[in-house]
Every structure is written in structure tokens, then in C-alpha cells.
Amino acid sequence: MDIITSYGLLLILLAAVFGFLMAWGIGANDVANAMGTSVGSKALTIKQAILVAMVFEFAGAYLAGGEVTATIRSGIIDQSYVVHRPDLFVLGMISALLAAGIWLVIASYLGWPVSTTHSIIGAIVGFAAVGIAVESVYWSKVFSIVGSWVITPLIAGVIAYFIFMSAQRLIFDDPDPLKAAKKYVPFYMGLGGFIMSLMTIKKGLTHVGLDMGELEGYLWAVGIAVLLVVIGFWVIKRIKFDAGADRRMQFNNVERVFAVLMVVTACCMAFAHGSNDVANAIGPVAAVVSTVTSGGDFQSQAQLAWWVLPLGAFGIVMGLALFGHRVIKTIGEGITHLTPSRGFAAELAAAGTVVMASATGLPVSTTQTLVGAVLGVGMARGIAALNLNVVRNIVVSWVVTLPAGALMSIIFFFTLKAMFGV
């Protein structure tokens, strides 16, 4: 308790610095979920993708990041074990931020798309299990995360496979693919609008006073989907295609339509991602700030300090701008060759999986979901279309993330305890 009153300002400063590092890592690594497929399919250049993502990631993080300390406080650690030792809780959260931030920087440098959520959870589990008590960790939560390594990529891959195969059969295998595109693409627009609306409503707007009920959310999503179908028919009818173009040129024209859809879905994914995953950085920061400012009263109602949310938003943008291209390249180009139609199928499948997971309470990683979807699209062309070396490295990085975060967190936790004489 003494260190909180004696070193309160220093503890908050450490949490802010390491929280910024964590947010930087989120921007450098996780933003590939929103932009990797767009770059890989050539719908956007990497510079365009970074600019678009900077706007929508920042908007999502700053406008809809919201109050997130509850999950960090009570979702992983049993509060009863730390309520009388807030000093250990504060040092642990600072250690977890530093450990997760460093791991994300390492993974981003290597081009590994890892889960930022799993990084911070692994770090929190590490200091709690070793530094407080093994029983203080809600292990069922950890085991469900391990299970999600297999379940979520598999679900996303299957959905992406069927979305892409449906486009292949309905449009690209048709004797007149342009005519088929005019007939079916508006319905893909509607499906995309429905899924992206649900994702934004469920994950992007729940913290700005727009937490809609289940029925209201679905009604809005259906309304937006119908509107997009109508707009799709109107727009596509007015696009001038060369009727005498050869089949290859017709395919290129159809891909141009899917490229436009990809840009829209990428913007929605970036907004929802920014609003959701900024919690991984600002949650521990907010927990430290509220505990320190309340004088160690762990039970007091946590308030989000005005500077915490901009800190996380700015960190995400900086990490994206300086380091994001490495993981974007892995997602967009390293796994399999993507076209706009394949990228659209993967992004739509990933978003759909995240929405279903939110509804069922299944813990998911948007990174693993997107990678699984890209794999599903690649499998539609046969296993030879996949770069198995890249896939192997990605899977290894997923398995390593939890223990790597936990180990570094333990080391930093005991180092901080020694430094502060706890």
C-alpha cells in the first residue's frame, strides 16, 4: 500500500508509457486484420491502406473505445486475491503491459500476425499465477482461449470457402460473367452490409451510448442490407462495361466491382477493430490509474481518465504507420494469392465469425479469424495454393504468444517488486 501513496505519479507514468507501447504493438500487428486482404488483393496500395486504417482505427478507438476496465479487473483475475494487496495488482498490470507490448513489437518485426488479446491475457495470467496465487486465475477463461485457436480459424475458413465458391459458381463460371455480376453482386453487397452493420453495432458502438438491444440491432442491420441491395442494382446498371471484351477482361471488370466492396468492408473492420482492441492497451492503464488515484481502494468505481483513450488511439495509429506494413504483407501476400473477390470472401467470413462469436460468448481473436478465412479461400483452389511455410510460422507464433507473454510478465513483475521494495 505504501508504494501507491509514495510513488503514485511514477506508477501512473509507467503505466502510460507501457500502455502506449502496447497500443503501438496493436497498431503494428492487429491492423492487418482490417487491411491485409485489401492490400494483398490490390484493392488498395499499402500507403492507401495505412491512411484509411489510420482514420478509421483512430475513430473507432477514440469515439467508441469506451469504459473497459471491468473485463481486465474481473474477467481474468479473482478480485478477492488482490483486494487487500492493490500494490501487487498495480505492479502486475504494469508488468503485463510491458510484456505484451514487447512481444507484439517482436512479432510485428518478424511479420507474425498474433493475437493482441491473447498477448495481454497471457501476460496477466503470468504475473497472477506466479506472483499472487495459482487459484487467482480464472483458468476456464484461459482454456477457452486455447480452444479458440482451432475453432475460430476453422469456422472462418469454412465460411470463406463457401462464400468464395458461391461467387465462383454464380459469377465467374457463368458464360457471361458481367451479366451474372450485375445480377448477383448486389446481394453480396447486402450480405456484406448486414454482417458489417452487426459487427459495428455489436463491437463498435456499445460504448458511446448506442448499445442497441438484440432485436433493434438486427433490424438496423437488415434495413442497411436491403438498402445496399437496392443501391447495388442501381449503381451496377449504370457502370459501363465493354460488351465485346474477352473473357479475361470481363473477369478483371468483375474484380473491380469486388475491389470497391473490399474498401468499404475494410473501413468497417478498421472502425470495429479500433473500438474493440484498444481495450487491450487502455484497460490495464485505466485499472492502474483508478487504483492509484483512489489510494489503493480496489473496490472503488473505476473512471476512465480523459487522457487514457487518446493515448491508446494515438499509439495504435503510430504503430500502424511505422510498422504495420510487415504484418499486412504476411496476411495479404504471404499465405496465398488474393484477388478482390477472394479478399472480399475472406474479410466477410472473418467479420461474420466475429459477429457469431460475440452472440455466443465464444472468445475469439480477430487475427486468427482472418487468417483462417484467408486459408479457407486458398483451400478453394487446392492446398498447393497455400504457402505452408508461412502457415506453419503463423501457427507456431499463436502457440508461443500466451507463454511468451506470461514468462516476460513474471520477470518484469519480480523486477518491479525488487525495485520498489515490495
pLDDT tens readout for residues 264-286: 888 877 877 777 677 788 888 88
The residue written with cell numbers 503501438 in the block is 24
Residue 194 DSSP label: H
Quick one: pLDDT at residue 144?
78
Contacts of 389 (CB under 8 A, 6+ apart): none
pLDDT over 80 (residue 296): no
Length of the chain: 422
Quick one: pLDDT at residue 280?
80
pLDDT over 60 (residue 420): yes
The three grid cell numbers given for residue 127, joined into one nine-digit string:
504475473
The number of distinct structural domains making up the chain is 1
Contacts of 187 (CB under 8 A, 6+ apart): 229, 232
Quick one: pLDDT at residue 324?
85
d(CA 70, CA 76): 10
The residue range of the domain holding 35 is: 2-420
Quick one: pLDDT at residue 399?
87
Instruction: Say if residues 53 and 345 touch (Cβ distance below 8 Å).
Output: no
As a whole-number percent, the residues of the chain with pLDDT over 70 amount to 89
pLDDT over 50 (residue 69): no
d(CA 233, CA 227): 10
d(CA 43, CA 355): 24
d(CA 349, CA 137): 33
The pLDDT mean for the chain works out to 84
Largest CA distance in the chain: 81
Stronger pLDDT, 369 or 65, i.e. the higher one = 369
Q: Of the given ranges (182-186, 267-271, 358-362), which has the lowest mean pLDDT?
A: 358-362
Quick one: pLDDT at residue 158?
94
d(CA 374, CA 377): 5
pLDDT over 90 (residue 75): no
The residue written with cell numbers 520477470 in the block is 411
Task: Using only the alpha carbons of the chain, give its radius of gyration.
Answer: 22
* Average pLDDT over every residue of 75-82: 79
φ, ψ for residue 175, nearest 5 deg: -60, -30
Quick one: pLDDT at residue 68?
45
Stronger pLDDT, 62 or 352, i.e. the higher one = 352
pLDDT over 50 (residue 243): yes
Give the CA dihedral 183, 259, 398, 97, nearest 10 degrees: -120
Instruction: Say if residues 348 and 158 touch (Cβ distance below 8 Å).
Output: no
Instruction: Say if residues 251 and 172 touch (Cβ distance below 8 Å).
Output: yes
The three grid cell numbers given for residue 46, joined into one nine-digit string:
499499402
**3-state SS assignment for residue 208:** coil
CA nearest neighbour of 93 among 68, 127, 66, 119: 127
pLDDT over 60 (residue 301): no
- Find how far residue 312's CA is from the centre of its chain: 14
CA nearest neighbour of 29 among 273, 207, 221: 273
The three grid cell numbers given for residue 142, joined into one nine-digit string:
484461459
pLDDT over 80 (residue 60): no
pLDDT over 70 (residue 67): no
pLDDT digits (tens, 9 = 90+) for 368-397: 888 999 999 999 888 888 899 999 999 899
d(CA 326, CA 50): 12
* Average pLDDT over every residue of 237-251: 73
* Average pLDDT over every residue of 143-159: 84
